[in-house]
Structure 1
Amino acid sequence: MVKTKQWAASLGIDVEDALPAIADYNEPTPRTSQEIAIRTLILHAIAATGYGVDPGPIIEWLIDQSIWQYASPAEQALMKSTTPTDEILSEACWRQEAQWALLWAINKVDSLGLPTQTCDTGSLVDDIMPGLGDSIEQFVSSARLRQPGEILAENDRTYNLHCYARPAIRQGTLPDDLVYPVLFQRYYAFEWLTGTDLWDGVQTDT
């Protein structure tokens, strides 16, 4: 079966790991670097909950760092739940892929590439994100938003891949090395990043 790189190239989609910025595009995103950084922290907490980390200390940490209020209603409900379903926990685990995309947007990840593998969880936990109980001040203050042309290029690629992936799934022609949950989470993240919807209300129609 054709691989993602060949499939994407045949559709006119750029396949480089790091895309060149779209020239002369200067419209800023509606989100600030601080807002994006806080969202990655919330997603980090959600993924940890999905992987079975006790949410009690996570909630205490988010409250202590004054960002608990930035967790969406659905996210707060998950972390407070005593009986989350396996499906909800699985979806929570995948949120680290949305987190990875947003970390790229604030220059804490070098490149995204095609959605053919999951993010580097080891680097995410050990090198990028603050540890549970640590101050988030340096992490948030050091976030630097990429240039609008860079974000637009990656957003366009993700959107186009998602548009083509949906019918390919129905037709059974999706490349076998394309990890659709990774693509979907990136798409969700970019829709939030470039729009004004609240996190729970992001629309994913293509």
Structure 2
Amino acid sequence: MDSGKIKSESELAIKGMGGEVCDWLPVYDITTMRSCEDVVSRALIMNAMINIAFDAPVELIADYIKDNQLTDHLSCAEREILAQSQETLSQQDKINLHWYLESLWALLWVMGKIDKLEVPYPIPDDMVEYCPKLHENEGPEKFTDTDSIRSYEEVYSMRDLYYRAMWCCREFQLRNTPHKHFNMSLIMERRRALTWCLDNASDWDNIPQDT
């Protein structure tokens, strides 16, 4: 894998979107990618927890996660949320879970459920069709039928693009000149998911987002 070439391709793509690049922004080290099972389990958890942001009973989501043997894959923050109720959840908790939509969209790409993960575009209205619908009592099969995930190089290349896009977005923010193709929250959440996939030693609650 040629990380220098990947860097150049990412920079070219960002310039093509009207963005700016930083020549000295380094490349990522090579890490050990997570397994297909790990990625599918995280996607199932996130898909379930998103429902809490839309007022689903917390205990119902906790039961779904337990029934599908996903408890061991929960993060510390997720365990704390599942120990609460809709009445005790903070507004920030719900906001954080709502942003899971963008992270999950990135995982759908990693699992090969979608073909593109384009920086300028938010999730589409039909995202729900790709995911198990808990409110319709659908099982986990839309995710568990995944036999393999994208290669390390594919995910590394996409994460590199989002890494450099984040630097670009921060530059626009510092100058108070927002750009329609660079949404910080969207970029952060997708980069978070991609980085987690690429490093099996990472902690979902504390994914580095430095540039």
Q: Note whether the superposition's TM-score is higher than 0.5.
A: yes
Q: Which residue of 2 aligns with 1:201?
A: 206
Aligned pairs (5 A) from 1:19-58? 29-58=32-61
When residues 185 and 138 of structure 1 are mapped into structure 2, their CA distance, relative to the original with a 3 A threshold, is closer
Partners of 2:81 and 2:89 within 8 A in 1: yes
Q: Tell me which amino acid in the other structure corresponds to 1:93.
A: H
Offset at 1:129? 1.7
8 Å contact 1:72–1:199 — kept in the other structure? yes
Whole-angstrom CA distance in 2 between matches of 1:43 and 1:73: 14
Distance (whole Å) between structure 2 residues aligned to residue 88 and residue 4 of structure 1: 35
Match of 2:186 in 1: 182
CA contact (8 A) 2:46 2:104 kept: yes
| Structure having greater relative contact order (Cα 8 Å, sep ≥ 6) | 1
> In 2, Cα distance between the equivalents of 1:184 and 1:140?
26
Q: How far apart are the structure 1 equivalents of 2:32 and 2:110?
A: 10
Deviation at 1:118, TM superposition (A): 2.1
Residues 64 and 50 (structure 1), Cα distance of their counterparts in 2 relative to 1, 3 Å cut: same
Does the CA-based 8 Å contact 2:40-2:146 persist in structure 1?
A: no
Q: Does 1:166 align with 2:177?
A: no
Residue-by-residue CA offset, 1:41-71 (whole Å, 9 max, x unaligned) = 1111222111222222111111111112211
CA distance in 2, matches of 1:11, 1:198: 28
Are 2:87 and 1:76 equivalent residues in the alignment? no
| CA deviation profile, 1:78-133 (whole Å, cap 9, x unmatched) | 1332322212211210111001101101101111112x3321253x32x2222324
CA RMSD of aligned residues (A): 2.5
Alpha-carbon separation, structure 1, partners of 2:76 and 2:46? 13
* TM-score (norm: length of structure 2): 0.78
Superposed displacement of residue 138, structure 1: 6.0
Classify the secondary structure of the residue corresponding to 1:205.
Answer: coil
Question: C-alpha displacement at 1:31, in angstroms?
Answer: 0.5
State the distance in 1 between where 2:59 and 2:104 align. 21
Counterpart residue number, 1:152: 156
* Aligned-residue identity in percent: 22
Give 2:172's aligned amino acid.
A
